């Protein structure tokens, strides 16, 4: 099977390459891998070696011929390419996220690809109540106050239109919860908290009091478990939508347990929305308040279809996934060969003769 992956050097892409390389080690020659990214990783190091790499931007009109060439003779394409930053340049984000998806679909059709697997998100869903679980039939209309959610919903619309126009091409979409792994700590800290705050986090965070809204209820999943779900979709040539999340659902109490907090201080979600919005406008942190609106509104996903159809089960709890990402942000963990997942730079502290994590 010849598999192409866009965004192959990112968080989910790196995890998927690890899973596919493991499959290749068990069944040599069973897979041919093509990686597509804007920047070339160090191909002398795992898991990026043994991959046919193409450097291009899926959102650029000028790169569409390169994209079509990269997908030549490919059986399945996994579209993971997505931008979260720069958060203030919505035109650039739209070009990569929405136009890029349309370009990948057009290139897949032109190249004769028969299986398209796309990374959607829990963020694609319309607002839902938190008191019960929602399956894949819940509307994927997004939330107006979040550009990420709007873009994911528009991506879903592009997939729907493509499916209607190309019934001979199998289309699957995964809607994962927040994807965490320790080696994404530097990237996620940089994207969501900026350059300073992650440096203040210890490797093992223990706080006596956790301020959190009562309705801050969300889900998480480890990157390795997401990669397993992608592999099962590819291996089974599955189609349709699949919710992907680990247990337990993360309530303020569960989050406090993950962070070692003995008490929860209730904070109104509206107040958190205003604080994040002000901090973003003052350029104190890089993400706008739309992320708070999305966190407050996304459904608690029912993952039954992934378990029944794919035989998928998470191996890492959501609590352990959160602990991993907090530890990774504190120590600046990363994957050195990947320009996207690069570790945080080391800082020479005054009065020392060596380098330590900043």
For residues 19 and 5, the answer to whether their CB atoms sit within 8 Å is: no
Residue 30: count other Cβ atoms within 10 Å of its Cβ.
Answer: 10
C-alpha 112/C-alpha 9 separation (Å) is 24
Q: What is the pLDDT of residue 347?
A: 41
CA count, 13 A, side-chain hemisphere, 28: 0
Closest to 316 measured CA to CA, from 218, 220, 204 = 220
Full 3-state SS string of the chain:
CEEEEECCCCHHHHHHHHHHHHHHHHCCCCCEEEEEECCCCCCCCCCCCCCEEEECCCCCHHHHHHHHHHCCCCCEEEECCCCCCCCCCHHHHHHHHHHHHHHHHHHHHHHCCCEEEEECCHHHCCCCCCCCEECCCCCCCCCCCCHHHHHHHHHHHHHHHHHHHCCCCEEEEEEECEEECHHHHHHHHHHHHCCCHHHHCCCCCCCCEEEECCCCCECEEEHHHHHHHHHHHHHHCCCEEEEECCCCCECHHHHHHHHCCCEEEECCHHHHHHHHHHHHHCCCCCCCCHHHHHHHHCCEECCHHHHHHHCCCCCCCHHHHHHHHHHHHHHCCCCCCCCCCCCCCEECCCCCCCCEEC
Domains in the chain (CATH in brackets) are 2-179+218-244 (3.40.50.720), 181-217+249-299+315-343 (no CATH)
Q: What is the pLDDT of residue 344?
A: 84
- State pTM to two decimals: 0.92
Tokens of 235: 């291996």
For residues 78 and 104, the answer to whether their CB atoms sit within 8 Å is: no
pLDDT digit of tens for each residue in the chain (358 aa)?
999 999 999 999 999 999 999 999 999 999 999 999 999 999 999 999 999 999 999 999 999 999 999 999 999 999 999 999 998 999 999 999 999 999 999 999 999 999 999 999 999 999 999 999 999 999 999 999 999 999 999 999 999 999 999 999 999 999 999 999 999 999 998 888 776 555 555 555 567 788 888 889 999 999 999 999 999 999 999 999 999 999 999 999 888 888 888 889 999 999 999 999 998 999 988 999 999 999 999 999 999 999 999 999 999 999 999 999 988 988 889 999 999 999 987 543 333 333 333 3
Q: What is the pLDDT of residue 113?
A: 98
Q: What is the pLDDT of residue 352?
A: 34
Give rounded-to-5 percent helix, strand, coil for the chain: 40, 15, 40
CB crowding 36-59: b at 16 or more within 10 Å, else e: bbbeebeeeeebbeebebbebbbb
Closest to 344 measured CA to CA, from 104, 282, 354, 356 = 356
For residues 67 and 58, the answer to whether their CB atoms sit within 8 Å is: yes
For residues 192 and 286, the answer to whether their CB atoms sit within 8 Å is: yes
């Amino acid at each position: 099977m010849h598999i192409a992956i866009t965004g192959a050097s990112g968080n989910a892409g790196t995890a998927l390459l690890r899973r596919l390389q493991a499959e290749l080690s068990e069944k040599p020659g069973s897979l041919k891998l093509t990686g597509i990214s804007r920047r070339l990783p160090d191909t002398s190091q795992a898991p990026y070696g043994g991959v046919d790499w193409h450097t291009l931007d899926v959102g650029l009109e000028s790169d569409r011929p390169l994209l079509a060439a990269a997908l030549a003779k490919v059986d399945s394409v996994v579209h993971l390419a997505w931008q979260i930053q720069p958060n203030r340049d919505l035109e650039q984000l739209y070009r990569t996220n929405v136009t890029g998806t349309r370009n990948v679909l057009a290139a897949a059709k032109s190249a004769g690809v028969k299986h398209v697997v796309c990374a959607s998100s829990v963020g694609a869903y319309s607002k839902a109540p938190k008191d019960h679980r929602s399956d894949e039939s819940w509307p994927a209309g997004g939330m107006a106050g979040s550009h990420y959610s709007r873009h994911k919903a528009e991506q879903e619309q592009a997939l729907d239109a493509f499916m209607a126009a190309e019934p001979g091409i199998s289309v699957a979409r995964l809607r994962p919860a927040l994807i965490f792994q320790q080696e994404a700590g530097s990237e996620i800290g940089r994207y969501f908290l900026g350059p300073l705050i992650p440096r203040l986090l210890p490797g093992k965070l223990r706080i006596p009091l956790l301020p959190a809204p009562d309705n801050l209820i969300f889900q998480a999943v480890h990157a390795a478990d997401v990669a397993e779900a992608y592999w099962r979709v590819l291996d089974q040539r599955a189609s349709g939508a699949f919710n992907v999340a680990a247990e337990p659902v993360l309530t303020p109490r569960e989050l406090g347990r993950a962070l070692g907090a003995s008490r929860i201080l209730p904070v109104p979600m509206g107040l958190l929305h205003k604080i994040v919005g002000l901090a973003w406008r003052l350029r104190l942190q890089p993400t706008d308040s739309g992320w708070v609106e999305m966190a407050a509104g996304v459904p608690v996903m029912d993952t039954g279809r992934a378990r029944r159809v794919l035989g998928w089960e998470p191996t890492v709890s959501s609590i352990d996934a959160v602990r991993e990402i907090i530890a990774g942000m504190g120590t600046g963990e990363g994957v050195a060969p990947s320009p996207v997942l690069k570790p945080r730079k080391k800082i020479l502290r005054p009065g020392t003769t060596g380098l330590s994590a900043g």
